Amino acid sequence: MEKRKMIEPETKISLSRQCDLIELSRSSFYYNPRPASDKDLGTMKRLDEVFTDNPDFGSRQLRNVLNALKREGYKINRKRVQRLMRIMGIQALYPGKNLSKPGIGSEHKIYPYLLRNMKIDRPNQVWSTDITYIRLKHGFIYLVGIIDWYSKKLLSWELSTTMDQEFCLSTYRRAVNLYGAPEILNSDQGSQFTSKDYREMIRKSGAKFSMDGKGRALDNIAIERFWRTLKYGEVYLKEYQSVNEAKIGINTYIKKYNSFRPHTAHGIQTPDEVYQMAA
């Protein structure tokens, strides 16, 4: 029996847990890309490229850049840019009033930023996690990743067609199972990372929670730089036809990034070598 047919959406057991029990990846279950019009998809692809190069741009700057690209046929107002930014899950690293999207309500809690003036000199001292938009030919999906701040090793990642907390939970659990828990986990203030379930999982693992502060563009720079490297080295060179094709391509790239590509911060050593030697 095909594993996907074993999943029962109308039960009390979460889809993520059902996938774990039958050893089926969430990306294999959620195989349909998010629907969007061809016009929106084209604009979102361009927004992604501009934002990747300029993560401090808010909706005004993004609107202005796209409208300046008249030769590419763009004419867009700020309201539409804001709508597409919400769909893509992006926000400026230097957010203005009401541009950040922290969780709302008593279930969501914001933690202070712990990395200011901290010397990060060993693996598992600080991990960083974030979600980014991945484009497909006929849709889009989301990628969550966890990177070790010192070695720059990408520890765990997962794809999903929905930007919920479930794939964030399973990605952190996988990283802890493979490498142990970090001393500190740093994230933004998105609702996926401020929910009660996510906070409880971090607390039980023994890690402290650190969250980006508004107006601090370097607070989560380790994972932001990796997203840019991944997109220019892999995603923008391909036009994925499906989630599975994206998964294969991203997996191949991450393995190469960890085990073959030296990181400038460590001379000729790869992230794998730095992590293993110092861990």
What does the pLDDT look like over 205-249, one tens digit per residue? 999 999 876 545 556 788 989 999 999 999 999 989 999 999 999
* pLDDT, average across residues 23-30: 52
Higher pLDDT, 2 or 44: 44
Query: Distances from the Cα of 89 to the Cαs of 100, 252, 256, in angstroms?
Result: 10, 25, 27
Q: Check residue 145 and give its pLDDT.
A: 97
* pLDDT, average across residues 162-167: 87
Q: Check residue 230 and give its pLDDT.
A: 96
Q: Which helix (H) or strand (E) holds 46?
A: helix 38-53
Q: What predicted TM-score, i.e. pTM, was given to this entire model?
A: 0.78
What architecture does CATH give domain 126-278?
2-Layer Sandwich (3.30)
The tens digit of pLDDT for each residue in 79-122 reads 998 888 888 888 765 444 433 344 555 566 778 888 888 999 99
Q: Check residue 96 and give its pLDDT.
A: 40
Do residues 210 and 114 touch, judged by C-beta distance below 8 A?
yes
